[in-house]
């Protein structure tokens, strides 16, 4: 939590971000969305992870704006791993 020096208002570090207001831990949301990306259906995801279908759909909608950023991050990690493999061998 942060406190504004001017008005003494409290706010979280996620304030104003796409993950602001999420009550479920981000690590749990990532598990569910990763399973969805790997092909598990909406009904199955709701049953397996114990969340309502509307909740999962809301997460997908809310976090879809991060898709390009997360793709670039993952691509960077893959390139870094390949570079490390090539320098070792």
Residue ranges of domains in the chain: 23-88
20 confidence band (pLDDT: 50, 70, 90): low
Contact 32, 24 (CB under 8 A): no
3-state secondary structure (DSSP) of residue 88: helix
Write down the H helix ranges in the chain: 26-37, 42-49, 53-63, 67-88
The mean pLDDT of 23-49, rounded to a whole number, is 91
Distance CA 56, CA 33 (A): 8
Backbone angles phi, psi at 3, to 5 degrees: -120, 125
The mean pLDDT of 7-22, rounded to a whole number, is 71
Contact 2, 47 (CB under 8 A): no
> What is the number of H-type helices and E-type strands within the chain?
4, 2
pLDDT at 14 over 70: no
pLDDT at 52 over 90: yes
């Amino acid at each position: 939590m942060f406190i504004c020096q001017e008005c003494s208002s409290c706010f979280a570090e996620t304030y104003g971000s796409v993950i602001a207001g999420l009550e479920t831990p981000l690590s749990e949301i990532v598990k569910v969305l990763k399973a969805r990306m790997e092909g598990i259906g909406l009904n199955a995801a709701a049953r397996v992870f114990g969340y309502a279908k509307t909740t999962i759909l809301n997460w997908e909608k809310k976090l879809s704006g991060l898709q390009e950023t997360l793709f670039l991050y993952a691509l960077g990690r893959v390139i870094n791993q390949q570079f490390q493999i090539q320098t070792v061998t």
